Structure 1
């Protein structure tokens, strides 16, 4: 592997470590300001959003992110369907349960999670990987790093190791699907929304999905990624460019 590719991998890992540092720093500093309870989680996610905004700004990636684009065409909208279906699977038919401190604060917090994770992983890290790897490599490595970042739950939650490792695997598959979409369309806005919605329904679902269904969704995410990237892999689209885009970016 070339030096440039090692540097790309090192950069991606460093960005996720930096985000973990922001999380731990906020956990340590926020209580000194009198922030506690539920608001501590909000403070941590605000810190991560701030980090993401700084990184995207410094690297000049707002235009490439597509965060301010309202439409990228029917093909892009169609490829969002599997992610929307996964959101609905957690909510239908059992529904959602309103847990403290209520739907509103859960929605706000998880929107911040979706915003910072998408900007950091699918914009900052993926754009760097795009420069050094082909489509499949860039997407797979971005997804893998996204999955591995969830090891932070070992330090920030009381979850068991096997539960965290399963979450790492599921998150990696999910991250590969999202990274493929962003690689092709450079439209992170809907990814922020479906990511936040997925977290919302997953956490507040009355009945969690059976493991077999979760496994099927993982396969579906990987299959979706393969279909999204197919034009690049068959030479119909240049690997360094996104599909023709509609709207502003």
Structure 2
């Protein structure tokens, strides 16, 4: 039941906080010639974090000349992989919720449905772990690439001692940090659901049936052994009784025989 309630919500939070992110940083260049300065250079970036395509213009502090610069790094593969897993996990969890609620009888009709559900749950658990780890590493690299101090090193004017460069505003990372947290929460949720899905499969139910069957097979063996011992005892007693009857019959014939013969005479 926890899987049905929390899996779609956690998946939404994961891909929404990552896929919908936009950030901005601002740096300043204070030239010796104040007319050439730019004290608020805004640099916008966001998902899918192809930073090498993000450009901005900075003054050269040599007349009115400017240079176009690009940020460093391409982290789109990790970000898109994370969002893709989140979207597919959301869609599958919705489909599984519909099946659990409206098609429960057909789901348990044969072992195919629980087996497919078990395999998919294991796969998504593994993919959540991989994608969340990759995205966490990529996020740390994005933070370094968009650090205002690192961006200042790209500008030629900041390498001149007579000019002054500074950081005006840094990006806010609360949304992306939340996406990483929800990524690992999704892994815990899906991994914890493996046991509950496994209980619905024939592997678990088959193991539960074989154990009582083993005990029931042992009990008839004991009863048969007791019956055999009791039968042996009866046979020995029967043979003893038969011998006693034979002796009694012989005595009767010995006594009764002459008596009946004398009566005939």
Q: Rg bigger for which structure?
A: 2
Point out the structure with the larger helix share.
Answer: 1
Asked which structure has the greater RCO (Cα within 8 Å, sep 6+), the reply is 1
Q: TM-score normalised to the size of structure 2?
A: 0.24
